[in-house]
């Protein structure tokens, strides 16, 4: 198989990160950082006297590679 | 423990890991350089930008939606006192709800201490006030009635015979078809470009929908459904369990695929709320 193009690499990179985060896995990219999805449970917040119920969420977190 | 992307990329690109490493290094180097200047955006992933000497990443909406599939269509809601009361049994502390069942066994026989000798195991029972037993009993009775109500409602659903065998941990129940006809009835003359109704299609294959509102209260969700019922001819309230709490999504239309739902989402932007999401029913 011939060497993949830059577009192929970027597309595969995006797909892999999406897939892994979508299944709850963290992904480490050497020289760049680590992508992960952290869970935020449902919470009640109070803003200006109004109580609001925020649904649970998964939040994408990126930790840059400290060695890069 | 994070997975290294190298073997995953090798598999995706059908090349060896040794071949992936220089390609990935080149891409990362280029990405960092661009992030230092103007920032760089990768479609479907997000934007990298150097901020205060640190590489920062802002995820794209597509990625945020991807990781939030289980919670899609849910949005923050104001809690009125009435809503809070209604939401609290399902919303508050699921662990306590489940734990209350085993503990309810001794609590359910408050007469027993006077007739049977269980004193070694129940030294604290007499310390509890009667009010707490009454309160617990009322809560248990309320939960039982809620469960019984749900069972009855589900049994009367058109979907009931095919879907109600879901396990207790099922995350979603089908739309309450028993209520949607009334909504549909109120919209006897829907707009000509309203999303297609699921009535004429095999519902088994139309498991994608558009979520326009959500609430932890069924009543609030039904109110929203009634509002949209005047604009669309296939509005339903779908209950789903998220993190052990019940949420109610207001859905519009039933579609055979995500792309079909997103097409309607794009075409009906002006009639749908900005945070409307496509959602796959389970």
Q: Smallest Cα–Cα separation from B73: which of B208, B212, B199?
A: B212
A66 touches chain B (CB under 8 A): no
Which one has a higher pLDDT value, B88 or B208?
B208
Binned at pLDDT 50, 70 and 90, residue B156 comes out as low
**Which pLDDT score, from 0 to 100, does residue B173 have?**
61
**Which pLDDT score, from 0 to 100, does residue B171 have?**
52
Give the residue on A whose Cα is nearest the Cα of B2: A26
Q: Looking at mean pLDDT, say which of A41-45, B42-46, B85-89, B116-120 comes out highest.
A: B42-46
Q: Looking at mean pLDDT, say which of B44-53, B95-104, B145-154, B179-188 comes out highest.
A: B44-53
- To the nearest 5 percent, what fractions of chain B are helix, strand and coil? 50, 20, 35
B128 touches chain A (CB under 8 A): no
Contacts of residue B135, Cβ cutoff 8 Å, sequence gap at least 6: none
**Which pLDDT score, from 0 to 100, does residue B83 have?**
54
Which one has a higher pLDDT value, B155 or A17?
A17
| Residue carrying the six token digits 């998964």 | A58
Q: Smallest Cα–Cα separation from B265: which of B121, B63, B98, B65?
A: B65
B-chain residues within 8 Å CB-CB of A59?
Answer: 67
| Residue carrying the six token digits 């339903």 | B236
Name all domains of chain B by residue range, CATH numbers in brackets: 5-67 (4.10.520.10), 82-114+129-156 (no CATH), 167-280 (3.30.70.1070)
Q: What is the mean pLDDT of residues B237-247?
A: 81
**Which pLDDT score, from 0 to 100, does residue B272 have?**
82
Which one has a higher pLDDT value, B94 or B38?
B38
Contacts of residue A13, Cβ cutoff 8 Å, sequence gap at least 6: A29, B5, B9, B24, B27, B42, B45
Which one has a higher pLDDT value, B187 or B233?
B233
Which one has a higher pLDDT value, B263 or B178?
B263
Q: In angstroms, what is the C-alpha Rg of chain A? A: 18
Q: Which two tokens stand for residue B217?
A: 């209260």
**Which pLDDT score, from 0 to 100, does residue B155 have?**
64
* pLDDT tens readout for residues A6-62: 999 999 999 999 999 999 999 999 999 999 999 999 888 887 888 888 889 999 999
Percent of chain B with pLDDT over 90: 21
Q: What is the mean pLDDT of residues B218-228?
A: 84
* pLDDT tens readout for residues B158-187: 454 444 434 333 355 655 443 444 443 333
Answer whether residue B252 shows pLDDT above 80.
yes
B184 touches chain A (CB under 8 A): no
Strand ranges across the sheet with B235-242: B235-242, B245-255, B208-215, B277-280
Q: Smallest Cα–Cα separation from B49: which of B64, B38, B61?
A: B38
- Are residues B32 and A12, on separate chains, in Cβ contact within 8 Å? no
Binned at pLDDT 50, 70 and 90, residue B98 comes out as very low
Residues pairing with B236 in the sheet: B251
Residues pairing with B209 in the sheet: B279
* pLDDT tens readout for residues B197-209: 444 444 457 888 8
- Are residues A17 and B63, on separate chains, in Cβ contact within 8 Å? yes
B85 touches chain A (CB under 8 A): no
Q: What is the mean pLDDT of residues B53-62?
A: 93
**Which pLDDT score, from 0 to 100, does residue B192 have?**
41
Average pLDDT, chain B: 71
Domain map (residue ranges) of chain A: 21-68
Contacts of residue B192, Cβ cutoff 8 Å, sequence gap at least 6: none
**Which pLDDT score, from 0 to 100, does residue A31 have?**
95
The DSSP H or E segment spanning B150 is: helix B130-156
A-chain residues within 8 Å CB-CB of B69?
Answer: 22
3-state secondary structure of B24: helix
Sign of CA dihedral B18, B22, B24, B25: positive
Interface test with B, best of A18, A21, A32 (most B CBs within 10 A): A32
Answer whether residue B81 shows pLDDT above 90.
no
**Which pLDDT score, from 0 to 100, does residue B130 have?**
54
Answer whether residue B17 shows pLDDT above 80.
yes
- Are residues A62 and B56, on separate chains, in Cβ contact within 8 Å? yes
**Which pLDDT score, from 0 to 100, does residue B267 have?**
79
CATH classification code of A21-68:
4.10.520.10
Parallel, antiparallel, or unpaired for β A27-29 and B3-4?
Answer: parallel
């Amino acid at each position: 198989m011939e060497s993949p193009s830059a577009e192929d690499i970027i597309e595969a990179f995006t797909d892999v990160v999406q897939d892994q985060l979508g299944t709850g896995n963290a992904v480490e990219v050497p020289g760049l950082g680590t992508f992960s999805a952290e869970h935020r449970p449902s919470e009640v917040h109070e803003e200006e006297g109004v109580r609001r119920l925020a649904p649970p969420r998964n939040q994408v977190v990126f930790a840059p590679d400290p060695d890069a | 423990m994070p997975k290294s992307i190298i073997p995953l990329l090798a598999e995706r690109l059908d090349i060896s890991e040794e071949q992936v490493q220089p390609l990935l290094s080149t891409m990362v180097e280029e990405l960092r350089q661009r992030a230092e200047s103007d920032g760089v955006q990768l479609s479907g992933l997000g934007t990298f930008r150097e901020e205060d000497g640190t590489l920062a990443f802002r995820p794209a909406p597509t990625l945020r939606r991807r990781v939030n599939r289980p919670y899609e269509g849910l949005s923050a809601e104001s809690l009125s006192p009435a809503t809070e009361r209604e939401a609290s049994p399902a919303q508050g502390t699921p662990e306590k709800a489940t734990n209350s069942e085993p503990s309810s066994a001794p609590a359910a026989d408050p007469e027993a201490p006077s007739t049977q000798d269980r004193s070694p195991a129940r030294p604290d029972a007499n310390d509890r006030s009667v009010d707490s037993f009454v309160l617990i009993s009322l809560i248990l009775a309320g939960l039982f009635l809620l469960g019984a109500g749900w069972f009855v409602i589900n049994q009367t659903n058109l979907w009931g015979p095919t879907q109600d065998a879901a396990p207790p941990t099922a995350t979603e129940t089908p739309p309450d078809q028993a209520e949607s006809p009334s909504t549909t009835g109120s919209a006897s003359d829907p707009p000509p470009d309203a999303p297609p109704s699921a009535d004429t299609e095999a519902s088994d294959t139309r498991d994608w929908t558009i979520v326009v509102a959500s609430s932890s209260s069924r009543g609030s969700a039904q109110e929203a459904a009634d509002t949209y019922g005047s604009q669309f001819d296939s509005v339903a309230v779908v209950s789903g369990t998220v993190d052990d709490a019940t949420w109610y999504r207001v859905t519009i239309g039933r579609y055979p695929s995500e792309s079909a739902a997103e097409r309607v989402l794009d075409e009906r932007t002006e009639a749908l709320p900005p945070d409307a999401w496509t959602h796959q029913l389970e």
